[in-house]
Amino acid sequence: MSMARDLAKSLEAEVEISETTWGNAVLDLQANKIDIMFGLSPTPSRALVVEFTRPIMQNTFTIIAKPGLEPKTWEELNKPEVRIAVDIGSTHDLFARRVLPKATLVALKTPDEATLSVQTGRADAVIQVAMLSLVTVKKNANVGKIVVPGPIVRQPTCAGVRAEDSSRFRTFVDNWLEFNRSSGVVTSWITSSLDLVGVQKEDIPADIQF
């Protein structure tokens, strides 16, 4: 909300919040239901139909692991006896198939189902980007422990906007992001959003940076 309010203020506009989901965000942009969606991964398939700003942050790939599983590297997980849960079609899914081709994937419909599979013993770990795993573990510490295997891999998280003939709006958002990132404001927005759900600075592993 802080980002949206500041962007609107910079544009001398009013904020109108519209509820959507990750799955529907691109469709809502295309249908002119929303003007911008923060926190989208700029996948090639999405980029065919919407445009993306410069990165808001770099989101670290993590795992939430069952007790006793603390791999130092991704390669330690890349074997058939290790069961890795992912939500189907997500960046977690794409990442797992690329980096852990030998692991046994437990592909489930939603992030919640993937997380639950670790608790029930169906999977040994679930792959989630840091912004999601931090919240997941804060809400339910019994689900497992956040581990950041090496080499550390991060993916850009951007804002999605409609693909239009004029790039004026996207260019403005890019400049607005760069201005606020250089002064540390973007990082403070991110940590403040985590604080709203109870994630404190001390809860964030040192290897996770935004």
Q: Cβ neighbours of residue 13 under 8 Å, at least 6 residues apart? A: none
User: Taking the domains of the chain in order of start, what are their residue ranges?
Assistant: 2-57+155-203, 59-147
Of the CATH numbers 3.40.50.2300, 3.40.50.300, 3.40.50.1240, 3.40.190.10, which one belongs to the domain with range 2-57+155-203? 3.40.190.10
Q: Cβ neighbours of residue 208 under 8 Å, at least 6 residues apart? A: 60, 62, 130, 134, 148
Closest CA to 83 of 68, 70, 65: 65
Q: Cβ neighbours of residue 168 under 8 Å, at least 6 residues apart? A: none
Asked whether residue 1 carries a pLDDT value surpassing 90, the answer given is no
Identical fold, 2-57+155-203 and 59-147: yes
Q: Which amino acid is at 18?
A: S
pLDDT at 23: 76
Asked whether residue 22 carries a pLDDT value surpassing 80, the answer given is no
> What is the rounded distance in angstroms from the CA atom of residue 204 to the CA atom of residue 60?
11
Task: Express each pLDDT in 56-67 by its tens digit.
Answer: 999 999 999 999
Q: Which residues, in sequence order, are bridge partners of residue 61?
A: 129
Percent of the chain clearing pLDDT 90 (strictly above)? 84
Domain 59-147 classification at class level = alpha beta
pLDDT at 20: 85
Asked whether residue 117 carries a pLDDT value surpassing 80, the answer given is yes
Contacts 24+ apart (CB under 8 A), 109-118: 111/87, 111/136, 113/87, 114/85, 114/86, 114/87, 115/64, 115/85, 115/143, 117/85, 118/64, 118/65, 118/66, 118/85, 118/143, 118/144
Percent of the chain clearing pLDDT 70 (strictly above)? 100
pLDDT at 201: 87
Task: Express each pLDDT in 23-39 by its tens digit.
Answer: 789 999 999 999 999 98
pLDDT at 90: 87
Confidence at 89, pLDDT banded by 50, 70, 90: confident
Asked whether residue 209 carries a pLDDT value surpassing 90, the answer given is no
Task: Express each pLDDT in 144-185 by its tens digit.
Answer: 999 999 999 999 999 999 999 999 999 999 999 999 999 999
